[in-house]
Amino acid sequence: MESTRLDRRRLSTASLVFIIIAASAPLTVLAGGIPTNYAVAGLLGVPQTYIVLGLILVLFAVGYTDMSREIQNAGAFYAYVTEGLGNRQGIAAAILALVSYNMMQIGLYGLFGFAASNLIANFTGLALPWWLTALAAWLIVALLGVRSIDLSAKVLGVVVMLEFVVVVIVDIMAISIAPEGVSAAAFAADEFFVPGIGVLLAFGVAAFMGFESGAIYSEEVVDPRRTVARATYIALIVIALFYAFSAWAVGVGVGPSSVVEESQAFGPDLIFNWLGQHSPMLANFANLLFVTSLLAVLLAFHNAVARYFFALGRSTVLPKALGTTAPNGAPRNGSMMQSGLAFVVVAGFAIAGIGHELGDLFPVITLFTWLTNAAAFGLVFLLAVTSVAIIAWFRTNQLQRGIWTRVIAPSVATIGLTAVFIMILVNFDLMIDAEAGSALIYIMPGLIILSGVLGLIWGEIIQRRRPQDYEEMRDQDMISDDEEIAIAQGSLDDNERSTN
């Protein structure tokens, strides 16, 4: 029997932390993000990037998580912007978020297909097309997506723990080898506060994408007033410090004088080549785990998109059929919709890549690079807009919060996020490796902005044609008195469950 409720009170803080971190993919950042940042920026200050971005996002989280205590909705950005800025703006944010999350998830199939095909070829000699391995991943994600969130949380938890173990081992190896000695050169001011800072921040922010997804699961956590906030802060702090340390370790392990040049020469293969020289067995295991980490990211973003479809269907922004759940509490129709979109887009790129001059790199340079960078552009823009919505919401909802929570933290976060957004836009040609004047520099960000504009138009249409639905959109977000009592009465059971 279908319902309009997600599976309530299932996720503990630890489970939600794993889901959030899985979206940022520690091993993917180590192997792909960090070398790319060194290569494109040409600076040693990559570790500082993660610290600065972490601070900006922690400031954003101050108001964001406080607002999550009062508003539980699977369409987090949609709900918060609606409550702060109005229904029409909320619908625009929802459509923009839906497009961005879908682009992020679908684009990752390009990298997964390439990496998985290479892995199989290296171990077996069997040459499989990228789209075939991507299809296998699609099937796994589609099947897990319609199951209870508990299963996804367990799968993601195992993969994330293995990723952390491997990255820690790599970091320790790098520091112990240190061909030029253990150096703090990466933390020098002139390696960060220079003209290249824009490139550093634009590329570095991708490592944090997905941290905001904690609020998406606010209807499914053990304690909606505490779990989301705790999990978001824990995940942010872990991501920022862990990636900063790992970026520094990579620089030390390769050598400060050569890490930029080596990154430019080998790109994402730098870590695996370096590992192969010192521990071929670990290199092979890391390669395998790199592929499974990409699968975890695909699943994490799939779950986020499915819940956005659910939230928008339940509020009648999209067809009502999307706003129902299966007997196991999963947003089945939303999950199937996301899987369908992914299949169509990946199939389109598979056909376009037949006989293409880029060869095996086609899915990486096109499907992965184009879509994920456009998605990062959209999500950073949404974070900035949400910060403004948080300030506006606290202005009209005096909840005995201090000026730090209501004004200062979200205001500084808005300035920081807007600066990063502009940096991404200015450096978008570098991010997608396009030639100056290429149409793609305008098309990909343009698709994101267009989705927001269409959302505004759709909001106007709903207001005119279905005024009652339009007015009722805010009513479903605030936690009710009955739910508050139920949470208080069930807190002991929830605490017990969270420790299991």
- DSSP-assigned beta bridge partners for residue 3: 325
CB count in 10 Å sphere of residue 288: 16
| The pLDDT of residue 482 | 47
| The pLDDT of residue 9 | 61
What is the signed CA dihedral for 24, 25, 30, 36, rounded to 10 degrees?
-60
| The pLDDT of residue 214 | 84
Determine contact, residues 235/17, Cβ cutoff 8 Å: yes
Tokens encoding 312:
């928008």
Determine contact, residues 308/90, Cβ cutoff 8 Å: no
Round to whole Å and give the CA distance between 40 and 25.
20
| The pLDDT of residue 8 | 63
| The pLDDT of residue 318 | 94
| The pLDDT of residue 278 | 92
Round to whole Å and give the CA distance between 328 and 356.
44
Determine contact, residues 5/314, Cβ cutoff 8 Å: no
- DSSP-assigned beta bridge partners for residue 325: 3
Q: Which fold has domain 13-483?
A: Amino acid/polyamine transporter I (1.20.1740)
Task: Please state the pTM of the whole predicted model.
Answer: 0.89
Round to whole Å and give the CA distance between 86 and 103.
26
What is the CA 7 to chain-centroid distance, rounded?
22
Q: pLDDT (tens digit, 0 to 9) for every residue of the chain, 500 residues total?
A: 556 667 666 688 988 998 899 888 888 899 888 998 999 889 999 999 999 999 999 999 999 999 988 888 877 888 899 999 999 999 999 999 999 999 999 999 999 999 999 999 999 999 999 999 999 999 999 999 998 877 788 888 888 899 999 999 999 999 999 999 999 999 999 999 988 888 889 889 988 988 888 888 888 888 888 899 999 999 999 999 999 999 999 999 999 999 999 999 988 789 999 999 999 999 999 999 999 999 999 999 999 999 999 999 999 999 999 999 988 888 999 999 999 999 999 999 999 999 999 898 999 999 999 999 999 999 999 999 999 999 999 998 877 788 999 999 999 999 999 999 999 999 999 888 888 789 999 999 999 999 999 999 999 999 999 998 888 876 555 444 444 445 444 443 444 333 33
Angle of the 87-124 helix axis to the 76-85 helix axis, nearest 10:
160
Determine contact, residues 72/479, Cβ cutoff 8 Å: yes
> With b meaning 16 or more CB within 10 Å and e meaning fewer, what string describes 114-151?
bbbbbbbeeeeeeebebbebbbebbeebbebbbbbbbe
Per-domain boundaries in the chain: 13-483
Angle of the 280-314 helix axis to the 149-177 helix axis, nearest 10:
140
